[in-house]
Amino acid sequence: MAQSTRIRLPSKQVTPAQAFQPSKSEIDTVEASAPASPSAPTQESSAQALNRGYAELLQEVRIGQTSVQALAGFLMALAFMPRFATITPTQRIIYVAALVTTMIAAALLTAPAPFHRIVYGRQLKKKLVKLASRLTLVGLVMLMVALGCALMLVLDVMGMTAAPYIVIVALFGFLVVWFVLPLWLRVRHGYRDET
């Protein structure tokens, strides 16, 4: 016959507020692991720098993926609208260009996840971060082109004769904000490879 084991619980009543307060030992552990002062430099190993770089990259990719998902949903739904059958051949070409560049952007911006899964544990983190960074940049360029095509399509369907000029200005704005300003800051403040 199996003998039953009883567990004795402490008789002290704990309020919900007390249940989520850290104990003194937990506070001491966190304080001991924190840097001595906020201005004190922390040294991280190259593995830690690579892990941080990859985590930061994934956060950046999530923003681009959200834009791609919204644009892809809009473009795919557009094909099933009744008015879609009435668009001109030029508008159809713009639509296809927008859809294809959106799908390419989606592939490039999601590529770091399967790439990581395939090379995980093979000591390839540095190559992973470098390649994922390049894929992300190309994916953002494709997203920029897709957004330009989608804007051109919408403005053209609305009958705006200034549509090409508006799209050029919008693409120039994307180019400046997404690429020129960061590159300018990088050059102005000196290049330093973090990995």
For 32-61, write each residue's pLDDT tens digit. Answer: 444 555 555 578 888 888 888 888 888 888
- Percentage of the chain exceeding pLDDT 90: 52
Question: Would you state the pLDDT for residue 180?
Answer: 94
Flag whether pLDDT at 127 surpasses 70.
yes
Helical spans, DSSP H, in the chain:
16-19, 24-33, 46-78, 89-110, 112-119, 125-157, 163-175, 181-188
pLDDT band with cut points at 50, 70 and 90 for residue 174: very high
Give the pLDDT score at 15: 53
**The residue to which tokens 């009435």 are assigned:** 86
Q: What is the mean pLDDT of the chain?
A: 83
**Residue 115 has what pLDDT?**
87
**pTM summary value:** 0.71
Interval 85-109: pLDDT, tens? 999 999 999 999 999 999 999 999 9
What pLDDT score does 116 carry? 84
Burial 123-148 (b: 16+ CB within 10 A, else e): eebeebbeebbebbeebbbbbbbbbb
Q: How confident is the model at residue 30 (pLDDT cuts 50, 70, 90)?
A: very low
What is the Cα–Cα distance from 64 to 78, expressed in whole angstroms?
A: 21
Task: Please determine, for residue 175, whether its predicted confidence score (pLDDT) is greater than 90.
Answer: yes
